Each structure stands twice: as C-alpha cells, then as structure tokens.
C-alpha cells in the first residue's frame, strides 16, 4: 500500500478508536476470536476510522479491477497434499537477504500510519517484532526512519524509497537508512506518477492538519498526500547507484514482468518484489499471483523473490512459497490490525496468519518454509477467477 507521531498531532480517529475499553471485539468484548477473521477485522477498522481515511487505505486505482482480483488470483491454484511423510512441527523461520526472521510473512510499506492509530509506525514496529516479522518502513511514514529503528533496535527492518523529492533529498534518505541500521533499501519503481484513485478524488482526501510526514522535506501549512515525482525518472542504473549511496542491498519493488526483473538483477538488485502497489497504480494490471511464476523463472537462483497483493490466508502464503517466493508481505491486513488494536493488533494479524501457514503445511506434509516444492500447487482451470 501507499504508506502522527501521537494523538496531539491530530490523527483523524473516531471517538470509538480513542476509547481503550472498545479495543476488544465489539460482538464479544471478553475474548479474542479463536481464528483470524480478516473480513471482520476490516469491518471493525472501518467503524473506527473516518470514511475518507478508510477509503484511502481500502481503495484502489481506476475501476479497482486489480484490487478486486488480487485475492481471487491466489485461489486459481490448488494444493496437492503429500501424505505419510512423518512431518512434525513445521519450520517457519527463514532468512531474507541474510536477516533471520521467524516467519516468511512480513509487513509491506504503507504510508500515513498515524491516521490508523496514534502509535503509527511505532506500533507496527512493535507488532512485527513480537512475531519475528520483517517490517518495511515507508518514505511517507508519519514517524522518522530513525525513530522507527529505535523502537526495536535488534529487529530486522528495511526502508522503502520513493522517487518523490529532489535527487538530493532522496539520496539523503538512502544514506540515513544505512546509518540507522536498516538491512536493505527497497526501491518502489511502479510510481512514475500517482495512480488515479477515484475514492480519494471523490472525498478530496488530504492529510489531517498537524500530521507530519517525518521523512519528507519540511513544508509550510498542511502537507498534501503523495504527488507525482519532482525528480528525474529512475533507470536501471539507479539500482547500483542507490546501493552505493546507502551501503545496503537493493530490493526492487513493483515488478510484474520477467524481462524487467532480469534487467534489475543484471543491474545489481539483490532481490525483486512482485507487487501491484495494492492495486493503486496501473489498473487493470496483471495480479501478483499471475506474474510470480514468470518472475521466478526469469530470476532463477540469482536473487531472492518476494510477493504481495491480496494474500489473506495461510494457503495463499503457501501458494506463493510454492511458486517461488521466499517471503510474502501484508499491507491492508496489518493496517486493520493497527487500527483496531495498535501493536497487539498487528501482532495478532501476523501471528494468526503464520499459524494458518503452519496448519496448512502440516496438512500438506511439508516441514520447512525454505523448501516448499513447486509441485505443491497446480493451476486449475475451474477455479473461480
């Protein structure tokens, strides 16, 4: 997704969200549900947020075709369980560019987290750390990249870089990420201009007064939401250049074509990230689940591959791993977790989906997320599309 430091900075929250005694489930205030229900969680978040803020997080570009197809595209695949394999408790830990994580489910970069909860990115960082997940911090965060890093100094994190500012400011952000202990730099390359997001246009969406974009240059008055880049267009040569500026491995996020990823890797990318930007850029675009096999084939063993976009169940995660992704990342689900429960809400989403993944792996006779065979899934012509 496109990505407050505190309540005094003016996050646009409803009174219900400010009420601590309403953080529990509204239909059962005494206990948590026995399973992760993301659809219900979204509705709870919607009730806590103002309509324009909810639409900003939930909406997509154009006719929202890409947004709608993202979850169903993973269901075009079917699991092929193995039996009698003597599988015990599945191994869920892996490494992402050398950083150890306890789950292959991470947090995608998303902007303006201070609108979802007063803790903003700090809350997301704590929730990710609690589950051993990797968090990617957005350029358009409402907390500075250094302050997010300070929340969990030992936890792995990456910094996502937009082409939004002058070349000098953008280079400075890359240097700061390296100095602050981030483990990788994520170049978002699918935003040469902002997607046409009709929900935001209808609501005339703007950031709440006083909510600061902590990594952006200082501006006078109310800060506008993301706009078209003001710096020259990036090229494949910028991959190596940003690696040198930051001193970090570079992940290229927003790729959907095999020919593009081959050039990214040849230009020095350590990993590529299959993404449609949450359905918020080109529309209708090919879904991540459709693009992933082509990307994995083009990359081969030369770089790691990640994916996001519509992943909502443990079987979706397993499908992505079988298709060659080393990890997946969540955007909107962690948004709803933050909005409804702060750091604990984020941890419940990440932990719940990790539990679903472990359960699905056990049913399929698999014991290690680092070794999910390609023939675990098969494309089926009768799947709902």
pLDDT in tens, 158-175: 999 988 778 889 999 999
Which pLDDT does position 229 carry in this prediction?
A: 46
Does residue 154 surpass a pLDDT of 90?
Answer: no
Residue closest to 184 by CA, chosen among 102, 255, 246: 246
Q: What is the mean pLDDT of residues 315-320?
A: 98
Task: Provide the pLDDT confidence category of residue 200 given band limits of 50, 70 and 90.
Answer: confident
Model pTM above 0.85 = yes
Query: How many Cβ atoms are within 10 Å of 85's Cβ, its own excluded?
Result: 11
Instruction: For residues 140 and 148, give the distance between their C-alpha atoms in angstroms, rounded to a whole number.
Output: 13
Does residue 193 surpass a pLDDT of 60?
Answer: yes
**Does the annotation mark 117 as catalytic?**
no
From the list 117, 165, 216, 277, the catalytic residue is 277
Query: How many Cβ atoms are within 10 Å of 297's Cβ, its own excluded?
Result: 12
Q: Which two tokens stand for residue 384?
A: 């709902």
Q: What length does the chain have?
A: 385
């Amino acid at each position: 997704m496109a990505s407050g430091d505190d309540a005094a900075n003016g996050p646009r929250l409803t009174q219900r969200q400010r009420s601590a005694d309403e953080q529990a489930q509204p239909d059962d205030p005494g206990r948590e549900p026995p399973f992760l229900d993301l659809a219900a969680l979204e509705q709870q978040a919607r009730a806590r947020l103002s309509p324009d803020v909810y639409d900003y997080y939930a909406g997509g570009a154009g006719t929202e075709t890409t947004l709608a197809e993202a979850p169903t595209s993973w269901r075009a695949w079917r699991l092929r369980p193995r039996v009698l394999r003597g599988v015990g408790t599945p191994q869920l830990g892996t490494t992402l560019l050398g950083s150890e994580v306890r789950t292959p489910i991470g947090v995608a970069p998303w902007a303006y987290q201070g609108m979802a909860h007063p803790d903003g990115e700090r809350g997301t960082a704590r929730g990710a750390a609690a589950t051993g997940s990797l968090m990617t911090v957005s350029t358009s965060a409402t907390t500075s990249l250094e302050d997010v890093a300070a929340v969990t100094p030992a936890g792995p994190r990456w910094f996502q870089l937009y082409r939004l500012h002058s070349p000098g400011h953008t280079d400075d952000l890359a240097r700061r990420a390296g100095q602050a202990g981030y483990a990788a730099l994520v170049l978002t390359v699918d935003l040469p201009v902002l997607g046409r997001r009709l929900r935001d246009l209808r609501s005339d969406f703007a950031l709440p007064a006083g909510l600061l974009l902590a990594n952006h240059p200082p501006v006078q008055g109310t800060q506008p939401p993301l706009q078209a880049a003001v710096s020259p267009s990036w090229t494949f040569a910028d991959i190596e250049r940003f690696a040198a500026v930051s001193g970090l491995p570079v992940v290229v996020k927003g790729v959907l074509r095999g020919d593009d990823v081959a050039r990214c890797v040849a230009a020095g990318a350590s990993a590529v990230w299959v993404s449609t930007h949450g359905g918020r850029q080109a529309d209708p675009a090919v879904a991540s689940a459709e693009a992933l096999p082509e990307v994995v084939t083009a990359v081969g063993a030369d770089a790691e591959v990640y994916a996001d976009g519509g992943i909502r169940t443990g079987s979706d995660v397993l499908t992505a791993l079988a298709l060659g992704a080393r990890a997946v990342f969540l955007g909107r689900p962690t948004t709803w977790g933050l909005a409804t429960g702060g750091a604990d809400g984020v941890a419940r989403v990440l932990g719940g989906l990790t539990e679903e993944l472990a359960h699905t792996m056990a049913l399929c006779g698999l014991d290690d997320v680092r070794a999910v065979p390609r023939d675990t899934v098969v494309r089926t012509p009768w799947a709902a599309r």
